[in-house]
Amino acid sequence: MYRKAGLWRGRRVSAKPSIDTGGAAYRPAHFKDTEKMTTRREFLEQGAATIAALAVPALARAATPRFAELKARPARVQLAPPTYPKTEIWGYDGAMPGPELRMAQGARIQRSFLNELPQASSVHWHGIRIDNAMDGVPGLTQPAVEPGQGFDYDFVVPDAGTYWYHAHNRSTEQVARGLYGALIVEEPEAPDIDREEVLILDDWLLDPETAQIDPDFTSRHDRSHAGRRGNFIATNGRFDLSLDVKQNERLRLRLINAANARIFVLSIFGMEGWTVALDGMPLSEPKPVSEVLIIGPGQRADLIVDVTAASGETAHLVRVEDQEGVSQVAFPVSGRAAAARRGSPHPLPPNPRMDISGMEKAVTARLNMQGGAMGTLDAATLDGERKSFRQLVEANQFWSFNGTIGMTDTPLVSVPVGETIKLEIYNDTSFPHAMHLHGMHFREVTKDAALGPFRDTLLMFGGETRTIAFVADNPGKWLFHCHMLSHAASGMMTWLEVT
Ligand code: C2O
Ligand code: CU
């Protein structure tokens, strides 16, 4: 059921949560998820086997690391309900999510990454307008870090906001195994809130009996359809995350979608709120959360919410699923923080370089996305050779950008630093895709030539044509790919060059 093909196919999601305002319709998240975990069909279909014991390589590195370490290693955590065994994950510093990295805007991050995994890895700092050499893309900006080896990441964070870091080698597997964490850059002046919570949303594909991660990371079905979608949904690694709040308390919620492919459709209940930032970057005006909030893989949203539910009630961050609201995070209310609510929040202070100038003389390019199940792709170039769709299926490659599968020798666009780029993207497939640009943020150019919010990941539904524009102000080789990680692994990857 959760792998239903084309769930979002060819339409914008406008599902409204069917919320019983009495609150009685709420089932704790684990109820539904546990129920799902007993669904064996998908596992049987795949013939999911037991997980082979993960060999931890002996460490070759003797020298002491230059900076504070960030160590990727296997660990065991209680992910599923306590009646299940612990789950073997891969985590930064053995934690899942990895340690929260938090610093002031303009500060410098220095971390010695150490790889204690049985395969090569790297760290990507998603959404940071970073120095290219620190971007963490094997083969483009650095070599993959072999087991037992390390890499020193050292960069400045120019923008305040909600970002995250994750593995960027064999990402379909490594992110699904838990290699990610939040990277929070604080505004010089904190907004007027009582407290904040970082909420990392993920879905896990677990064996319903052993609670171990399904080790088939190259499933043909996942690659050709909506990507690897989990059967067990968690926030910060907890299926039952519950945070005590007070009535009239004002919270900042930093939402991060770390899932391989799941689009989270969210709503709030017992709270009133505003979206104040998307993909780290502040909106010029806070936007009331009236309907649903759609967060694609890789995307973030910062909300400011006021708890309106009364003491003794429970507010919720709600996940909309099959037209039904399910609690993603519960906020039991006890007591009152203040006699009355505050007024509407102010916008967050803007980050530098958020304007897009030079639109009239922008360098334009087009990206046609094709492929996947129920798509229009008949043939495409793979490793320099023209292949029929049937041959592509055999190679387990499904998606093309402008007729080519995967990375090309030449970039999609190459411009001198400072040029403005306008990119028209046509999603000629039956599935949504979350297109993520490394190193720079962009704005969507809407039909009436207005500019949308400043983002790093664009969620596109089947059949849509959308245009983005950005100033190529960060020199280097920048990846541009679908953040549905099985799609990236089966073709949806290209790059741009700023010289
Ligand atoms: Cu968040 Cu290329 O990735
Ligand atoms: Cu995709």
pLDDT of residue 40: 29
pLDDT of residue 11: 28
* CA of residue 211 to ligand 2 center, whole Å: 27
Task: Return contacts of 445-454, CB within 8 angstroms, 24+ apart.
Answer: 445/359, 445/469, 451/356, 453/278, 453/279, 453/281, 453/283, 454/278, 454/279, 454/281, 454/351, 454/354
Burial of 379 (0-12, 13-18, 19+ CB in 10 A): middle
* CA of residue 376 to ligand 2 center, whole Å: 15
Q: Which ligand is nearest to the CA of 439?
A: 1
Residue where the block lists tokens 């741009």: 496
Residue nearest to atom 1 of ligand 1 (CA): 126
Pocket lining: 166 vs ligand 1, CB cutoff 6 Å = yes
* CA of residue 126 to ligand 2 center, whole Å: 17
Pocket lining: 126 vs ligand 1, CB cutoff 6 Å = yes
Pocket lining: 298 vs ligand 1, CB cutoff 6 Å = yes
Q: Evaluate whether 260 touches 175 at the Cβ level (below 8 Å).
A: yes
Pocket lining: 422 vs ligand 1, CB cutoff 6 Å = no
Pocket lining: 487 vs ligand 1, CB cutoff 6 Å = no
List the chain pLDDT tens, one digit each, 499 residues.
333 322 222 223 333 332 222 333 322 333 233 333 323 233 233 323 233 334 444 444 545 789 999 999 999 999 999 999 999 999 999 999 999 999 999 999 999 999 999 999 999 999 999 999 999 999 999 999 999 999 999 999 999 999 999 999 999 999 999 999 999 999 999 999 999 999 999 999 999 999 999 999 999 999 999 999 999 999 999 999 999 999 999 999 999 999 999 999 999 999 999 999 999 999 999 999 998 999 999 999 999 999 999 999 999 999 999 889 999 999 999 999 999 999 999 999 999 999 999 999 999 999 999 999 999 999 999 999 999 999 999 999 999 999 999 999 999 999 999 999 999 999 999 999 999 999 999 999 998 989 999 999 999 999 999 999 999 999 999 999 999 999 999 999 999 999 9
pLDDT of residue 477: 98
Pocket lining: 124 vs ligand 1, CB cutoff 6 Å = yes
* CA of residue 405 to ligand 1 center, whole Å: 18
CA dist 404 and 394 (Å) reads: 16
Q: Evaluate whether 301 touches 265 at the Cβ level (below 8 Å).
A: no
Q: Cα-flanking dihedrals φ and ψ of residue 44, to 5°?
A: -65, -40
Give the count of alpha carbons within 13 A of 460, CB side only: 28
* CA of residue 373 to ligand 2 center, whole Å: 12
Q: What is the pTM of this model?
A: 0.89
Beta bridge partner(s), residue 304: 252, 274
Pairing of strands 271-278, 281-288: antiparallel
